[in-house]
Structure 1
Amino acid sequence: MSGVGGVGGAMGVDRVMELRAQILERNAALSRANAAASAPAGGAAPAGPASFTDTFTDALKSVNESQSKAGALSAAYERGETIDIAKVMLARQEASVGFEATLQVRNKLLAAYKDIMSMPV
């Protein structure tokens, strides 16, 4: 008995293998695109590492943008504009996951700060 299949076990395995191949192709394409985008243009020197403050600020801005986008899509859907409900729900979930991740990072940073402050000198 196949764990993937069900009624058409061989057909299910073929479908999974086909999906795996598509995922690998897309991953390779994204890797090539990222490599091309990160390559310095015109031989310019690559920028140094970003500071923690800049990185954290960029992450917070990204979370804020995703929440704004989700709110705008929700409002447009509620107004009756022709927006796919799946697109709205996906945007809401992305915003929720981003917010939860940010909250967890904040909690970890706060815990680390408390640990450092309670260390004897």
Structure 2
Amino acid sequence: MAKVPTRQLGKTGPQVSAIGCGAIVFSADHSDAKLSNLEVFLGIKFALVMSPELKTYTVRGDAQYVHEACEKSLKRLGLSSVDLYYAHCIDKTVPIEETVGAMKELINAGKVKYLGLSNCSSDTLRRAHVVHPIGC
């Protein structure tokens, strides 16, 4: 059987599948799947919060929500930690330093190995990198 090609995630990250970046979506509004005993690199995202009444999304990047969203995802998936935790988008009402600081706390607690940002400006990325290294 042929080996699936891999590539490094960022400059300092792990090797992941080059096909589709090894991505499968699991989120609060997509699945209640449980993962165990699988050899996968698992990334979970946060920041978009759906309002069931309005059927709209708001963005949250405050420290409380960063922790809350991670804990809920870990519980839903039946896991104690994940490889990657990333902000799907940036909450412009919260300093990125607060968001990344909370993410760093999750790394220090052993719940997350790597952190990431999606849909952000280069300035935001530079400011975040001061708080914790962000692989590019």
State the TM-score, normalized to the length of structure 1: 0.25
State the TM-score, normalized to the length of structure 2: 0.23
Q: Which has the higher contact order (CA 8 A, sep 6+)?
A: 2
User: Bigger radius of gyration, 1 or 2?
Assistant: 1
